[in-house]
Amino acid sequence: MKDNEILNWYPSRGEELLLKAALWNEDEAVVAWQTWIQENGVKEIDHQFYPLGAMLYQNLKDRIHEPYMNKFKGVYRSIWFKNQFLLKKISPVLRALENEKIPMLSLKGMGLTLNYYKDFGLRPMWDVDILIPRQEVIRVSQLLGSYGFKRYESLEYSIEELMKWCHSIGFRNPQGLFIDLHWESLWCSYKTSVDDDFWADAKPFLFDGISIKGLSASDQFLHVCVHGARKKGVNPYSWAQSSAVKCMPDAMKILRVSKSLDWERIIRLSREMSVTLQMRDVVRYLATTLKAPIPTEVVEQFQNLQVLRMERVHYRLTMDQAQPQTFWEKFIYMVWASYMTWLRRHYGLKNVNSWGFLKFSTRFIFFCKDILQMSMISFSAFRIKFRYYLGLTFKKR
């Protein structure tokens, strides 16, 4: 991948100006906001404002006196209320897990809000992500059921089957509150020691009298960067749609609060998960575009890291803006994407070979022969069918 290529997951120009207005200080933030207004104008608050609206309000309220600030104040109040409501309702579940002596490690929103933002109104939370030991997943899922939380996706599989090819599963209660139960911290952490490193260096904190562990600052930075460096839209490597607009403020907040990170550890874990290219580009964007306090030598070290050819192919497939158009382009893309995903998950990208791909493709086609009859299928429906057969065909036996 060319270093000057604009990646599909990078913020757009409009998003970039909003990030600068929300994250930069004083005059620079005002200039970024005024530039955004000149290029776009504001008629009403839409979805693009929500992740940044509260931060825009906090950063600009004393320097810009416009009607927009009242709207952003409303965003702040909305996030503050929804986050408080979510955590208050989830608290009994977390307390029950503590009473059962089940280790819990908070991921993403909850840990970031309580340990870094320290303000319930600044960062929206749509769910609570909890990492637990793999051997406790069945017990915890039953406990969640006793509190009214039920699985809402991949219902055709048992949890035991899902654990062979997923890293988490979502639960929802009748009130519409979500818990994302992780047995692996990230989609790319399977069969690595990264989660062991995360657990070993985790820091305890209290929430509502409940003892929970949170990622260390260095691990939290790595986690939000890898989670955020994902393609916008349909992507067979990552089922959820994510946005760098959420990732960048989180990373900036960690850098500012923590002052210094263990960059050697971050680089080592990045290489172990084969995400050095994701981290390279996130770190470069933070340092050069958002002026994050990242040492120049760290940016250069990421730039100069040797990367497996297959890791580059994997990254290009993950981030490429081009989508297959014809049925056969979609089919070949899906077979290759599934092979890369399965190989990464079970053996590592360094073990790719032509004979392995041929065997994999034959097995895929044999088990997915009904897909061949779907010549007019849409890409989104194809992705759903692919996901079903990925679990059915390539789970470990």
| Average pLDDT, integer, range 284-296 | 93
Indicate the range of 184-193, 204-213, 244-253, 355-364 predicted with least confidence.
355-364
> Full-prediction pTM beyond 0.85?
no
Say which residue, 294 or 228, is predicted with more confidence: 294
Distance CA 371, CA 386 (A): 9
Residue 179: in which H helix or E strand, if any? strand 178-182
Q: What is the mean pLDDT of residues 114-138?
A: 92
* Helix, strand, coil percent content, the chain, rounded in steps of 5: 60, 5, 35
Give the whole-angstrom CA distance, residue 388 versus residue 397: 16
Residues forming a β-bridge with 150: 172
Confidence band, pLDDT 50/70/90 cuts, at residue 371: very low
Q: What is the mean pLDDT of residues 52-73?
A: 85
Continuous segment of H or E residues that includes residue 204: strand 203-207
* Model confidence at 275: pLDDT above 70: yes
- Pairwise CA distance, residues 31 & 126, whole Å: 31
The residues spanned by each domain of the chain are 86-307, 323-394
**Considering the domain 86-307 in this protein, what is its CATH number?**
3.30.460.40
The tens digit of pLDDT for each residue in 159-205 reads 887 777 778 888 999 988 999 999 988 877 666 678 899 999 999 99
